[in-house]
């Protein structure tokens, strides 16, 4: 399974380094020298091998074997970085989830009313968002924060969405 581990920002310097906003608690493992990640930008996927990594101003500066200069680094800007993990791997924190664990869960209100199914997880700059596909075919975008998503039970196949005015209603 693929998990999101980062997002590429701007190029740094002239030797092909890029600024990466890490989206993983396992930075040392996911960005270790020699690790291969997949960069996806505008539907174009590229395998990249980590050559060097260092912290810089709250982010990472990463150099990949396949990125030789600033021009190539600039072309990566905005790419989402994915790592392959075994299907049985689980996050260290019990309150964290991989996307593939969430997609397909049935969404319910706290009172037991069905809402739909988790169709996707979006990784936006500010936070993650659950995309809920309703039985009508419409989609609702729910910020994945405890106030709105108080419970996730992967084993039971459910997620609880605390409906608020305007959150789930049709426009």
Among 84, 114, 133, residue at a domain's last position: 84
What six digits make up the tokens of 164?
Answer: 């608020």
One domain, residues 103 and 62: no
Measure Cα distances from 60 to 19, 98, 125, 127, 161 in Å. Answer: 6, 22, 16, 19, 34
Establish if 167 belongs to a structural domain. Answer: no
Count of domains in the chain?
A: 2
| Residue 35: pLDDT band with limits 50, 70, 90 | very high
CATH number at residue 56: 2.40.30.60
Does 154 have pLDDT greater than 60?
yes
pLDDT of residue 24: 80
Rounded CA-CA distance 17/64 in Å is 7
Out of 22, 56, 84, pick the residue that ends a domain.
84
Indicate the pLDDT class of residue 31, thresholds 50, 70 and 90.
Answer: very high
92 in any annotated domain: no
Chain center to CA of 168: 23
Kindly report, residue by residue over 86-131, the tens digit of the pLDDT: 666 666 666 778 788 899 999 999 999 999 999 999 888 788 999 9
Token pair in block for residue 76: 């990566």
Q: Are residues 51 and 123 in the same domain?
A: no
| 168 inside domain | no
pLDDT in tens, 52-95: 999 998 889 999 999 999 999 999 999 999 988 766 666 666 67
Domain endpoint, select from 55, 84, 113: 84
Is residue 91 assigned to a domain?
Answer: no
Across residues 38-53, what is the average pLDDT?
A: 92
- Collapsing DSSP states into helix, strand and coil, what is residue 43? coil
Q: Which helix (H) or strand (E) holds 54?
A: strand 44-56
Whether residue 66 is found in the same domain as residue 123: no
Average pLDDT over residues 154-162: 93
| Count of beta carbons in the 10 Å neighbourhood of residue 68 | 12
Average pLDDT over every residue of 144-158: 92
Same domain, 77 and 53: yes
Token pair recorded at residue 123? 């990784």
User: What is the CATH number for 151?
Assistant: 2.30.30.240
Domain that holds residue 113: 99-160
Strand partners, 84: 2
Question: Do residues 56 and 62 touch, judged by C-beta distance below 8 A?
Answer: no
Q: Are residues 110 and 63 in the same domain?
A: no
Alpha-carbon distances, residue 86 vs 37, 57, 72, 91 (angstroms): 14, 32, 30, 11
**Range of lowest pLDDT (24-28, 36-40, 58-62, 136-140):** 24-28
Q: Is 42 left (phi over 0), alpha (psi -120 to 50) or beta?
A: left
Distance in angstroms (rounded) separating the CA atoms of residues 125 and 68: 27
């Amino acid at each position: 399974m693929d998990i999101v581990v980062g997002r590429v920002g701007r190029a740094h310097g002239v030797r092909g380094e890029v600024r990466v906003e890490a989206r993983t608690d396992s930075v040392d493992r996911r960005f270790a020298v020699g690790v291969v990640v997949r960069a996806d930008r505008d539907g174009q996927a590229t395998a990249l091998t980590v050559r060097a990594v260092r912290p810089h101003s709250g982010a990472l500066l990463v150099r990949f074997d396949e990125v030789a200069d600033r021009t190539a680094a600039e072309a990566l800007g905005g790419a989402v970085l994915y790592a392959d993990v075994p299907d049985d791997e689980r996050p260290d924190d019990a309150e964290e989830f991989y996307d593939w664990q969430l997609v397909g869960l049935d969404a319910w209100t706290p009172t037991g009313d069905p809402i739909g199914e988790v169709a996707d997880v979006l990784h936006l700059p500010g936070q993650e968002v659950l995309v809920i596909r309703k039985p009508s075919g419409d989609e609702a975008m729910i910020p994945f924060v405890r106030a709105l998503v108080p419970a996730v039970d992967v084993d039971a196949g459910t997620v609880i969405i605390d409906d608020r005015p305007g959150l789930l209603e049709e426009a």
